[in-house]
Amino acid sequence: MLFLAAATTSSGSSLSLFLPLVLFAGIYFLVLRPRANKAKAAQAQARLADVGDRVMLTSGMLGRVVRMNDDTVAVEVSPDLVLTFAKRAISRRLDETDPLYVAFDPDNEELEVDDSVDEELNDDVNEESKGSSNEGEAK
């Protein structure tokens, strides 16, 4: 009788040790491994970016590569505005089928630019700077 009780206890404990191992393996193969493979593929695609390619940076900014060095890249984010980033800031290279590729076209003249927002911001900044200079004179 005691032998049977000891046998069921030991098999129950080995099952309780084996179950977390099976769960971890399942999570690894279903979640962690595919995510790592996807990130690796995106990094490889970003490394393939060359001058003239449209790219998305890790910040979400879209641009066209205009110059590349060993560890830096110059990206045109709008006409006549070129910013320099670390090469690892390239999140992905955009191909022609990507909707973001079509959305970013710095030479697109069809995009309407609303200058009224800039004028309102300038007016607000000018009013704030006048208010702060008047406060300084009053004291």
**What is the model's pLDDT at position 67?**
94
**What is the model's pLDDT at position 43?**
76
Report how far apart the first and last C-alpha atoms of the chain are (Å, whole number): 96
pLDDT per residue rounded down to tens, the chain (139 residues): 445 444 455 555 777 888 888 899 889 889 889 989 988 887 777 778 889 999 999 898 999 999 999 889 999 988 889 999 998 888 888 888 777 776 666 555 555 555 665 666 667 667 766 665 555 554 4
**What is the model's pLDDT at position 1?**
46
**What is the model's pLDDT at position 2?**
47
**What is the model's pLDDT at position 45?**
73
Selection from 44, 56, 83 nearest residue 67 by Cα? 83
User: Measured in whole angstroms, how far is the alpha carbon of residue 66 from the centre of its chain?
Assistant: 20
State how far the alpha carbon of 53 is from the alpha carbons of 23, 81, 101, 102, in Å.
43, 16, 10, 13
* CA distance linking residue 25 with residue 49, whole number of Å: 35
- Whether 50 and 34 have beta carbons less than 8 Å apart is answered as no
For 37, other C-beta atoms within 10 Å of its C-beta total 10
